Structure formats: C-alpha cells, structure tokens
C-alpha cells in the first residue's frame, strides 16, 4: 500500500493494484465566493497535477458541496474516472456518481482477479445536527483478501463514529484521518473535521493502525496544521504510529502493515 499526498484532503491511495483518489482538489490558490458573503481561501496548489498521477481507477469523494473537497478542477476530472463513490445525495447532483449508504459495500475488480471492497461508513461534518448546515458526508473502509484494511475518514468530526467503525471493521492497518480542525462561522467556529485532540483519541480507538493525517494544510479555514498534529502525537506517545507524508511523494506504508 502506497499513499501520495497531493495536498489538503487529496491523496492517491495505491492498494491491490488499484489507484484510488480521495476528495480531488487541484485548483491553484484562490478565493472562492460563497453564499452570504463568505469567502473560502485556498492557500497552496496541488503538489502533483492530476495529469501526472497516472491511471485513477476510482475516486472516494466524502462529499461534493465544499470546494476544499471538490474544487473546479476536481469536478472537471470526475467524468474521466471509471468509478466515483460518494454520498447518495452526490449521486443525485453529479452524473455518474455512485452513492453509498452507510455500511453499504461496493466491489472493485483488482488486476489480479481479486476484489477490493469499498464500504461507505458514517461521518459527521461538525457537531450533532450539523447535517442541516454542512450536508451529509461519508467515510470509507477499504478491505480485501490479502490486503491491509484501511479507513478513510472523510470530513468527519465525530470520535463516537470512529469507535463504531473500529468496532465493526477493526483492526485496521492504516487510517487516513481528515484532521486540521476545519472551522467556519457557519457553526460558530465548531470544528467541522477532527481536531488534533480528537485525532489522538481516534488513533487510540484504531490501534494498531498507522495514522496518516491529511486535510491539515492548504486552506485558510484549517485551524491546526501538521506541526500541531506531530506535537500532540508525540505527547501521547504515538509518534511511532504517525506518518506525516511529504507532498507529492509516493510513500510505502510498511511498518505495521
């Protein structure tokens, strides 16, 4: 299993001979005007252009409503991808998207004749009741015979949901956690993704998984960066399980896998 962190929530996961891209965001830095006069600011461009990632077999899209998870260039990429998995709502808004209900599996055929199963799992994009404001989002579990089992959290802020997923599918080998403590004025500054403290709690629940944090940099509304994550995991005695990836570098996750 290899992961190439493109930036923000965007990463290429190579597993079982397939390449899976999370939340494609490939625009260059810019401001996006949002309803109500709000502005979302992208600070850095992609470490690797989409055209240089090679074949992409599937996109794992946590949700389609926000630019940091699906920007203009990412949206333009979707029609060229054979399989795009996201929420049932996204399937009604974007042609060709397959919506996954919570706990619903979807099988991808591997080049070796086996199957990589992608299961939609619950996620909460903020505090309780946030769906009415931020929309429905999803996470994903990746599994298959002879493969490491991986959890991709999507824009989830709930440690309770991580526990449900760990109880149902664990133990995990790798967990890609959307952290960064994203915050906006929409919910009075409540975190919309895992804070660093919550990511540490999640790591304990997901033991012995290697933790790969994404969604911690590249956008102005991410409030806790990679250095904060590194310091918190060190304080919790979890440095050996943390992998903060260099952008644009395909990194093999071998320890613990």
The answer to whether residue 257 is domain-embedded is: no
Q: What would the DSSP string read from start to end of the chain?
A: -EEEEEETTEEEEEETTEEEEES---PPSEEEE-GGG-EEEE-S--SS-GGGS----EEE-S-SSSTTTS-HHHHHHGGGSSEEEE-HHHHHHSTTEEE--TT-EEEEE-TTS-EEEEEEEEE-SSSTTTHHHH--EEEEEEE-TTS--EEE--S---HHHHHHHHHHHPPPSEEEEE-S----GGGTT--SS--HHHHHHHHHHTTTPEEEEESSSSBTT--S-HHHHHHHHHHTT-GGGB--PPTT-EEE--TT-
Please write the tens of the pLDDT for every residue from 170-200. 999 999 999 999 887 777 778 889 999 999 9
pLDDT of residue 127: 79
pLDDT of residue 254: 57
Instruction: Give me the number of domains the chain comprises.
Output: 1
pLDDT of residue 257: 40
The answer to whether residue 49 is domain-embedded is: yes
pLDDT of residue 237: 98
40-43: long-range pairs with CB below 8 Å, 24+:
40/66, 40/67, 40/68, 40/219, 40/220, 40/221, 41/219, 41/220, 41/221, 42/67, 42/68, 42/71, 42/218, 42/219, 42/220, 43/217, 43/218, 43/219, 43/220
The answer to whether residue 256 is domain-embedded is: no
The answer to whether residue 254 is domain-embedded is: no
Tell me the sheet residues that pair with 58: 20, 83
Instruction: Give the distance from CA 35 to its chain's centroid.
Output: 25
pLDDT of residue 256: 39
The answer to whether residue 252 is domain-embedded is: no
The low-confidence residues of the chain, meaning pLDDT below 50, are 255-257
- Which pairing describes strands 83-86 and 97-99: parallel, antiparallel, or unpaired? parallel
Are 81 and 72 within 8 A, CB to CB? no
The answer to whether residue 251 is domain-embedded is: no
The answer to whether residue 253 is domain-embedded is: no
The answer to whether residue 176 is domain-embedded is: yes
* Residue 164 domain boundaries: 2-246
CATH number, domain at 185? 3.60.15.10
């Amino acid at each position: 299993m290899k992961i190439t962190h493109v930036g923000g929530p965007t990463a290429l996961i190579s597993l079982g001979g397939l390449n899976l891209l999370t939340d494609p965001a490939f625009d260059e830095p810019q401001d996006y005007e949002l309803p109500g006069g709000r502005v979302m600011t992208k600070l850095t461009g992609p470490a690797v252009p989409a055209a240089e990632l090679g074949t992409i077999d599937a996109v794992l899209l946590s949700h389609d409503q926000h630019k940091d998870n699906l920007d203009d260039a990412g949206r333009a990429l979707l029609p060229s991808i054979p399989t795009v998995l996201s929420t049932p709502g996204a399937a009604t808004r974007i042609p060709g998207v397959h919506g996954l209900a919570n706990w619903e599996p979807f099988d991808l055929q591997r080049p070796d004749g086996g199957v990589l199963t992608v299961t939609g799992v619950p996620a909460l994009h903020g505090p309780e009741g946030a769906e009415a404001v931020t929309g429905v989002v999803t996470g994903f579990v990746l599994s298959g015979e002879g493969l490491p089992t991986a959890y991709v959290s999507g824009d989830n802020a709930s440690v309770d949901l991580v526990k449900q997923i760990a109880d149902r599918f664990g133990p995990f080998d790798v967990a890609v956690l959307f952290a960064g403590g994203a915050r906006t004025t929409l919910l009075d500054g409540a975190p919309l993704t895992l804070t660093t403290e919550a990511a540490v709690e999640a790591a304990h629940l997901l033991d012995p998984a290697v933790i790969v944090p994404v969604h911690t940099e590249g956008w102005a509304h991410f409030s806790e960066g990679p250095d904060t994550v590194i310091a918190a995991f060190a304080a919790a005695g979890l440095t050996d399980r943390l992998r903060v990836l260099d952008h644009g570098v395909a990194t093999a996750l071998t320890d613990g896998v």
